[in-house]
Amino acid sequence: MSKIKNWREQPLQSFLYVIATCYLFGFILHLIDLFFFRAPFAEQGVLKKSWFLYLLGADLFMSVLLFKKSKWGVWALHVVALSQLLVYGIYENLFGRQPVLVVFHVLTLLTYWKIVAHQKRQQLLKK
């Protein structure tokens, strides 16, 4: 029961914990890719390899920062989410179609800002 109460008292921190878990899972999937279990990394071009290595590092870095409750974790979340929206939205012809990832990142950012706005509104009402 205390975890439910904690979630209600700290919705933003709970949300960031869930997102950190999702990105850690993404890191694990990229690690599996590196060892040829899902996609042939060695057969990809330099651009895709660079993007892949960026995602490998960025997903881990951001999830660790969010787990540690660092303010830099929120910045990293925005950089990673926006970079993926850019790559899979604008440069879809180079990196392939990823509609699920686009929707995930849009919903992640919208939910983050919705929770932040709600918390700010609650603070203003208390004053």
77 membership: H or E segment, kind and range: helix 71-89
Domain ranges, ordered by start, for the chain: 2-126
Using one digit for the tens of pLDDT, what is the confidence trace for 71-86?
A: 999 999 999 999 999 9
Cβ(38)–Cβ(32) under 8 Å? yes
59 pLDDT higher than 80: yes
Q: What is the largest CA-CA distance in the chain?
A: 59
Token pair recorded at residue 23: 């990105």
3 pLDDT higher than 80: no
Amino acid type, 60: L
3-state secondary structure of 96: coil
Using one digit for the tens of pLDDT, what is the confidence trace for 20-56?
A: 999 999 999 888 888 876 667 777 889 988 999 999 9
Closest residue by Cα to residue 38 from 18, 56, 54, 20: 56
